[in-house]
Structure 1
Amino acid sequence: MKTIKNIVLMHGAFADGSGWRGIYNILNNSGYNVTVVHNPLTSLEDGIQAINTALDKLDESAVLVGHSYGGAIITEAGNHPNVAALVYVAAFQPGDGETALQWIQTAPPAPENGILPPDEKGIIYYEKDKYHMGICADLSIEDADFMYASQGAFYAKGFVTPIKNAAWKSKPAYGVIATEDKSIPPEIQEAMYKRSKTIATYVKGSHAVYISQPELVADVIISASRID
């Protein structure tokens, strides 16, 4: 069995790369080479380019990990020749011609969900009063306040751009289903991962499960890194 030592992490909307710190520490201490990619959040294409830039620097294969909207980005970016496996963490996993928006509309939103309509600049924000319960109810209020303050501006364009070639059709895919998710309901995660035959693991946690349950999410990433 071969172990892939490169791990590339991509965060989603309403967050930034600092949320990966716990998982970074676990993987780094286990001997992995971890790259945390800054998601520009300006478009799907810009996100793909950011990942490709990171992957181009690697001389060996990598496991590509995406959270939330980052899942849509890794679905296309995963076609890079250096990507050996994909990991979706409470993430969107569209197919060819599909968008993240299509999938979020397949189930009614939870009452805690605070995603607002795009503003005049095409930017989507999350309602501040709902951020804690909607994104990260299993974190402290202090942590939620920091996440809200440090998030990037998410342009709606990325949410409605269709996937051209879904990498999960040809590469191994693993998934984490966050059972207490109020932003992407668990039933949507289940439907996407079942359709794609993704190897899914249920983890009790909020949409920010990668922050609240870093050990369990890291275990899934480590499993994806072990190739027969």
Structure 2
Amino acid sequence: MGQDSVKNIVIVHGAFADASGWEPAYHLLKKKGFNVTLVQNPTSTLEADLNATNAALDRQEGPVVLVGHSWGGTVITQAGTHEKVKSLVYVAAFAPDAGESTLDLVQSAPILDVNGILPPDAKGLVYLDKEKFNATFATGQSAAKSDFMYDSQIPLTVTAFTDKVSVAAWKTKPTYAILPTDDGTVNPVLEHKMYDRAKASVTEVTGGHTFFMNDPESVVKVIVAAAENR
């Protein structure tokens, strides 16, 4: 890495999964000399996830590239205002504006042909449909991996989905985005719209919503570019 490169990477996972899916990318980044922190955010409320992310940012020594996947994009949009954050990387992620919620964004785009998100249960928890899980969320994963991901999914709450961000860090921080063309969870039409609005440097890749699990090289390449401000 160059002398002026950012050496710290903080990654915020999305809904319905935890940070373990980022292990392949983690190992590649570590081999390149980065310090990598994976936030295990609870996906219960935006405030709770912001607290978890800010706690991780506070612990960093020096500037940070802040990465968010899916729902994690909503989190980094606000957490990215932290003074240590130098750039943002959205990975198949939501990028709301100030005053917008994740649900606002979802409702602003056409409905996907196959929608794997189930209605909230009596406790206000949202899960993914088992029959549609591989086609929408775990596209490209093996059947065994997809089954494991389904059985270990962490629900998103309605509260988190409707919480609005109060500030958008992408307005003031260099922003990068990775758009998987076969995303079955976040509509690629919406991703294009959000990333154009954020004036992000966009990289399109072939793959589904969790492409970074079986194609970590493509996401690492963008993270490194963000760290090197190029």
TM range (shorter): over 0.9
Q: In the TM superposition, what is the alpha-carbon distance from 1:65 to its structure 2 partner?
A: 0.2
Deviation at 1:179, TM superposition (A): 0.3
Q: Distance between the aligned counterparts of 2:45 and 2:135, measured in 1?
A: 27
- Aligned twin of 1:55: 57
Secondary structure of the residue that 1:3 maps to in structure 2?
A: coil
Query: SS in structure 1 opposite 2:48?
Result: helix
Partner secondary structure for residue 9 of structure 1: strand
TM-superposed CA distance for 1:53, in Å, is 0.6
CA distance in 2, matches of 1:219, 1:198: 15
CA distance in 2, matches of 1:60, 1:17: 22
For 2:167, the aligned partner's letter is N
1:111-150 equivalent positions in 2, closer than 5 A: 111-150=113-152
Q: Please give the secondary structure, in 1, of the residue aligned with 2:176.
A: strand
State, as a whole percentage, how many aligned pairs show the same letter.
44
Q: Is the 8 A contact 1:90 1:209 kept in 2?
A: no
Instruction: Please point out which of 204, 208, 217 is paired with 1:202.
Output: 204
Q: Which amino acid aligns with 1:161?
A: D
TM-score by length of 2: 0.96
Partner of 1:192: 194
Partner of 2:82 in structure 1?
80
The whole-number CA distance in structure 2 between the counterparts of 1:85 and 1:50 is 19
Q: Which runs of 5+ in 1 are unaligned?
A: none
Out of 1, 17, 20, the position equivalent to 1:18 is 20
Give the number of aligned pairs.
Answer: 228
Secondary structure class of the residue paired with 1:21: helix
Q: What amino acid maps onto 1:112 in structure 2? A: V
Matched residues in 2 for 1:181 and 1:33: separation? 29
Match for residue 181 of structure 2?
A: 179
CA distance in 1, matches of 2:69, 2:55: 19
Query: Using the alignment, how far apart are the partners of 2:151 and 2:176 within structure 1?
Result: 31
Distance (whole Å) between structure 2 residues aligned to residue 196 and residue 111 of structure 1: 26
Q: Which runs of 4+ in 1 moved over 6 A?
A: none
Which one-letter code corresponds to 1:117 in the other structure? Answer: P
Aligned to 1:156: 158
SS at match of 2:131: helix
- The CA deviation at 1:111 is 3.0
Q: Which whole-Å deviations, capped at 9, do the CAs of 1:73-106 have from their partners, x for residues lacking one?
A: 0000111111110000000000011111111122
Asked if residue 46 in structure 1 is aligned to residue 12 in structure 2, the reply is: no
RMSD: 1.1
Q: Does the aligned pair in 2 maintain the 1:113–1:183 contact within 8 Å?
A: yes
52-61 or 150-159: bigger deviation: 150-159
SS of 1:34's partner is strand
Secondary structure, counterpart of 1:128 in structure 2:
coil
Q: TM-score, length-normalised on structure 1?
A: 0.97
